[in-house]
Structure 1
Amino acid sequence: MNNQDESLLLYLNEAIATTRTKEKLFKIVTEKLRLIFPFDSIAIITFDSTLQQKRIFLRDLLDGAPPIMSDQPDATPIAGSPIELFLREPRVQQVDIADLLIQYPDYLPFKRMYKREMPNLTISPLRTSGQLVGLLVMAARRRPTFAPDDLTLLEKIGSVIAVAVSNALAFEEVARREQEKSVQLSINNALLSSKNREQLFHTVATELDRLVPCDYFGLRIQRRGAATESFAEFAKLGGTTFQALSEDRWEGLQGREAMQVETFGLFAEPGIHTGEDFIALTARYRMLRHAAEQHGTRSMLGVPLWVKQDHMAVLVLASRNPHNFTPADLELVKSLAPQFTLAMQNLFAFEQIEALRAQLEQEKTYLIDEINTTAKFEDFVGPSGVMQQVQTRIRQVAPTDTTVLIQGETGTGKELAARALHNLSPRRERALIKLNCAALPAQLIESELFGHEKGAFTGAHDRRIGKFEMADGGTIFLDEVGELPLDLQAKLLRVLQEKEFERIGGRRVIKSDARVIAATNRILEDEVAAGRFRADLYYRLNVFPIRLPALRERPDDIEPLMRHFLERFTKQMGKPVRGLRERDLRGLRQYGWPGNVRELEHVLEQAVIVSEGPFLEFAGFSATRPTVAPTETGGPLKTLKEQERDHILAALHRTGGRVSGPNGAAVLLDINPKTLEARMKKLGIQRTVGVAD
């Protein structure tokens, strides 16, 4: 060995001792080597300790040319590649790529070198402490001529580079473990601090992505013979940050459930599926083929969190890179699996507790409402014959389970009659569950009636118990049943006929022994004739009809009702008993009461509040009430439509034109604000009309 060779080795040793970045080190090595050995491309390949995997450590930093092996993954098997030949005889050697391509015709890096007219390889083993850690590979356009001393020098240079590579790999491993600990700590903190499912696992996915880059993160529950349930799923949709995936994405995919059923057990054991292995799985599983075709998925990593006979929970990562996941990635995710399992179980328990709490709160609300509004027969005040007939029919049907249809105008006391029917029945110890069919948008009524499973539709974050399920053993009161959409009428008919239903998104048939009481202010015979109400449902509901008369049909009941309400409000408000002028009584009798008993009740409540002298004051009512068609003087009668319009105008005037809110006309009239707005539009009433009149 001459002095120049010794100087080179000394220089490389000093560079290794003072250089911390592998890129700078590689640049130094490349520059010095080219002074002695001619080559056009260079790479350092490292091996794992078992000599099973290879990795490109550094490569192709010459003349700014595109890298030959730019698409190589971090680690690939040695078996099946030309590298296995060099492991059999690890010494400095010169090889013609053309000879290697005969045996390995599909080895892409060598094919590219050959295409770039760099067919000559010089390969030197990298050893440190007798351990083979990698190879130094130099490619050249011309075949170099080496003397025996050159080969000896190359072996010694290989030993020096091996030390540098080992040091760099050690630094990388320390940095990787530090990052791994940091990510694990961040994930652990997230799992301990958050009870919000989406927020929690979005953080987990983001942190895990720092160590194991992926395009999809999913916690899924697979059931034998059923579709996969999403617990938490996120994907990088056109960007670098994760976004939560919705169940809506499956809309329009035919056979989705069957495709997911096929995948049961796919991740019963931890595993990675990359390259050709993943392609083979797409031929076997239609769902994986869908992921590949629609989302570009090319590799997957799966770890089971728990496996039972009928279901299993799995963590799945997916990537568009066909060689994205390594055995080291799998071991890391497996080490985190117990934390994910505990987090899922804690969230399940927390969400179930929250669902039970919400259900109990809802039932408590119903029970308190029942206690505060319990109907008694004395609330059906009035000696008139028509009211006596109503009371008789209530007594007759209350002890039975017969379906009752209560008909009558707004404000005639339909809910009061329903409560009386329930409280006089054997079901009085169970809840009376009510639903106003006009108070909710059509798309929510089905969920209110029958409930829904978690994830059944957008926004269904939790399972919901429906009204029919809550009314099991009790009574369900369907107010304004004439407002039900036709598609829901068919589902209600099934419940009446078969006493069973399913929650939205559910598959389990639920039985309900609920007595049905329905009420409407519409004339259902006319609705049936117009095609807006199913005839078969009408006959199912109209088993025992009870018609509540309008207040104008029972003038003899007005004064007793007034006395009844005045006594109640005076006691409730602690007001003194005041007298009632004969002229006021006469005016109240002559009024048509389009709002019926409810309107009378509100008028008297307001009179008790505002009166200060010895007599009740009705000045506000008298000044604003619409002209009433006399019922006793033989004057012309207004139509119900005219009466309704006048009544709404009066309510708007009292509220200054306000429709909704605590002081709005809807509260005064005791109807849903949306329903009131619809009726105003139908009657041609503007919001400002009530104020202007």
Structure 2
Amino acid sequence: MKKKILIVEDESLIAYDLKLILIRAGYKVSGIADSVAEALEMIEEEEPDMVLLDIYLKGSLTGIDLAKKLTVKNIAFIYLSANFQESILEKAKETQPYGFLVKPFREKELLITLDVAFYRHQNSIESKLRQEQLLEDLFKNIVAESGEWEQKLLKIVRNIQPYVPFDYITIILNNAGDIPNNGLSYLRTGFDEYETIGTDDFMKMIGVNTPELKKMAEDSPLSTKTEFYNNADFNDIIRYYPIKRLIAKNLKVQSFLNLPLLMAKGQIISCSFYSRKPDCYAPDHVKLLSRLQQSLVTAITSIVPIERFAVRASQPEDIAASTSKTVSAPVNFDNIIAKSHQMLTILDHVSIVAPLDTSVLILGESGTGKERIAKSIHNLSPRKHKPLVIINCAALPSNLIESELFGFEKGAFTGAQEKRIGKFEMANEGTIFLDEIGEMPAELQVKLLRVLQEQEIERIGGKGVIKINVRIIAATNRNLEKEVEEGRFRLDLYYRLCVFPISIPALRERKEDIPLLAQFFIDRLSQKIAKPITGFSPEALNQLINYGWPGNVRELEHLIERSILLADGPVIKEVQLPKFNNLKPTDYTTETTVVKTIDENAREHILNVLQSCNGKINGENGAAEILGLKPSTLHSKLKKLGIKRNSRY
């Protein structure tokens, strides 16, 4: 079926050209609108898959106003605009578009941007998060309602059904090994009709008595992982679960999904979804339920009376072990130590995106731990047993990047004495981490875009393409949006990489993490150096907290190593901090170490003039007149300095 695209553009010639391009490319144009009101009517009638949206339209409402409504309707959109000013871009960005095209644009740029936009929309985390938010809100509303708890629990079950379908669901409110006499189950008997089945009814349904049920529960291993089994896999797994085997026999179910919900005191609520369809469940169901686990725990424990949770009491030593143990970060988070809300949010985002194959763009200053975040994403993903290949784009000479990434054949160039595979082939079935992606040359950006789109590479000197299956994680300390604005980074590549951005805060923005990090580094480095240092004095710790940390966590680690070497006792009483105490990286990078070339200054000046005259070059008050240049001379300078027409204005 052809994908439907609505064009919202108030210039009829541009709209007609767009229509012709889209039809030639195999899309269906569902209409052309020149105002927000007309567009909304067409959207209701046509239900387009994508909207091409000009920012300035007829009437009082703009394309940005329409974009907000499209977001609510979960319809993807791409902005079209001749105005690329930073202020407009900022307002447009807030609506989370799936692409941005600057007029005039080429047909190829439009089609590539559409491909990227459809890819992002189909795999968008934003769409899934909106779905989850809807369910979380429903759960909260059900908890707040008056009524019997059994009916509230049934409402929760009903609301899950559209997202995770089932014919039968069991909710066991006790630990493995206990008699499951606190269980409830629901059998779907009609479109919106469910039969509530208690434990006694359940035993009658599967034909067992209480001792037999207890023995079956004891013989069943405890499931602590959210997972699913379809068809043949389900038939294999029920050999180890006698109760599930009887459910399958009596209800003719062929698929199963397990959802364990961990309560505050360590007890488990086992939720089991069953379907008569042989291939009912998919990874998306697992991902959705995994992210909803905490909301479900809160809702169920708020609804169900406490006496229904009559679980086996924990032994005193178990309680002591569970309450005394403090964990700063999950094991798979690769030594990321954090308790600040900013970093805990980052770790939540890592947990959300890690199981997916979505491209991730990690943003943050140097030394904030972007590589550690990348490693955590890989370690928490299904690709964790495959390679994680790390490449620093800033450390490679521009003439070697292509051969490093894609490899080369023997004799491809002088010095190519043998065939060599590139980093992408090394990472096949795994993950590649492109650190400092903002340093990649423009010509390589085009080839990287193709790899992302086609999942294939071609070695230098090769005679054919090589299919690969690689997850891309990229990172940069640059402002890529500014790089795009100034023509140094491709807009289509930016949108392809930035499917799920993760912005790591600077250390000075999460000072509550400094004592934890400092102690972590002391414990690790004092053992490495073989010098028994136990901690900091209160005065030294205050010094660390009040320092600005322009080098972030990396600087903290190096300073602590130096302090351990200089310490004359078990406690570090003083730290030797640099004199530029509270400078941010931008404070000393731009003013001290970075000196712009003549061409860079000329480029910046020309861009400012072009912006002030809205891109006009020729004629009165044009950029050429203001700069005192002939128009032809200015055009030559634009080409020399890499300034594309309408690249910033």
> Same fold, TM exceeding 0.5?
no
The interval holding the TM-score normalised by the smaller chain is 0.3 to 0.5
Question: What TM-score does the superposition give when structure 2 sets the normalisation length?
Answer: 0.40
RCO higher in 1 or 2 (8 Å CA, sep ≥ 6)? 2
